[in-house]
Amino acid sequence: LQKSLSEIFGADKYSRARKEVLTYMFSRPMQMALYFCTGVLDDETLFHHYALNVPFYTHFTSPIRRYADIVVHRLLSASLGATPPIKMEKEAIQKQADHCNDRKMASKRVQELSADLFFSIFVRVRP
């Protein structure tokens, strides 16, 4: 697929921009990951990671990037016994997860609209 797309984009001064914008647009349909508190869900199949095919999956990155990752680090550390248990009810953790999901989706939507605007202008000014 990558080779076919590279051939279609051509070699003019706009080929890289076309490739980046269209590649981004092609990847949009992928389902976005959501934060959730496992303690509020009864269905453990929701913990499954489709692409990795693992039944229980927790994702996090460096805690300097997102607040949700700090929470995941703290909860994981407590669950492993490295730190004292977190003194938060599972409903409060889920409320924070919902807020993080909402902000992440809003940010993604703005990013998508920005790419759409760029692409629209790009198409309009190209002969």
pLDDT band at 22 (very low <50, low <70, confident <90, very high): confident
Return the higher-pLDDT residue of 16 and 99. Answer: 99
Q: Which residue has the tokens 């590279």?
A: 6
Mean pLDDT, the chain, rounded, equals 83
**CA triple 28-30-34, angle to 5 deg:** 110
Return the higher-pLDDT residue of 6 and 58. Answer: 58
Return the higher-pLDDT residue of 111 and 12. Answer: 111
**Closest CA relative to residue 24, chosen from 11, 5, 45:** 5
Q: In this model, does residue 83 exceed pLDDT 90? A: yes
DSSP string, 102-125: HHHHHHHHHHHHHHHHHHHHHHHH
| Helix count and strand count (H, E) for the chain | 4, 0
Return the higher-pLDDT residue of 51 and 5. Answer: 51
Interhelix angle for 90-125 vs 15-27, to 10°? 140
Q: In this model, does residue 91 exceed pLDDT 90? A: yes
